[in-house]
Structure 1
Amino acid sequence: MAERLTPGDTAPAFTLKDQDGNDVALDSFRGSSTIVYFYPAASTPACAKQACDFRDSLASLQAAGYRVLGISPDPVPALAKFVAEESLTFPLLSDEDHKVADAYAAWGEKKNYGRTYQGLIRSTVVVDPEGKVAVAQYNVRATGHVAKLRRDLKLDPK
């Protein structure tokens, strides 16, 4: 597992397929702040809640200069289904081999009901317009995460 990112680090570059099968490169978002969030699995209740929170906040995030990208180990068809089910309005990217999640330290050891395994660690990294990490949050909760992120980015009052 890679070392966790911290503010000031250069965000690892990537190009992944979106829900429509198009290549999306982080470099194409240079000049904008980009919220890159990693979630374990499309169409699961917690991941749907988090994605819908981003969807519902997207207009105000964009107005403040932020773009949103969701990344999971799901294949493209599962992402397309998730986008349609939840009417998502931002790109979801497929990282089936979890190389990008590895680079962002969002893949690693997890524990659930006494079982230890390797999996996706729900994480969010905000990349500034120059490609540097502005915020790195790991082991975030699906519910309430977007509201907390908005407060951390000083987009909402306490």
Structure 2
Amino acid sequence: MSKNSRLKVAFLAAVVAVAGLATAGPALAAPPAATAAASQAQEPAIPTDFVTLPTSPLRPGGNQEVTLTYRNTTPTPTTVAPQLLVTSPDSGPFLSPSDVRVERRTGHGCWVTVPLGSQTGTLFTDLVGAQRTLGPGETLKERYRVTVLNPKAGGTVEPRVALYGA
């Protein structure tokens, strides 16, 4: 299976999971009329596009810092979510979440561990919890630190930004 196919499968699995949670959660807690009103007020749960940023090889030994930067150049507020993918080599072995640690730098300068999902050899950070709205001209800047825990692990670090809406 090619790396692009694995990425597509991982993305589709994540979208199905997010869509299922987004639609099932409010439906279970609210009466039908309230559910319809709530779903109209919520931002779309499925990204409409991705902006891919420069990739880098996964480097064993030490920490590797990755900065995601995205500027909203539209005249309207835009909902975005930063995401970090760590993809396995085409010929394997596939990565597992125990092979790497991903951390995000907070506004206070602390590093906090980011849980990783895994699908067909691709590790990924959550989109739902990372969503935020950027006003016109605002810039998103997220710093991540990737540490390889398994010296035999190899792959590629692929930062991107999910875009929501029309």
TM range (shorter): 0.3 to 0.5
User: TM-score under structure 2 normalisation?
Assistant: 0.31
Q: Which has the higher contact order (CA 8 A, sep 6+)?
A: 2
**Structure whose residues are more often strand by fraction:** 2
For the pair shown, the structure with the greater C-alpha radius of gyration is 2
User: TM-score under structure 1 normalisation?
Assistant: 0.32
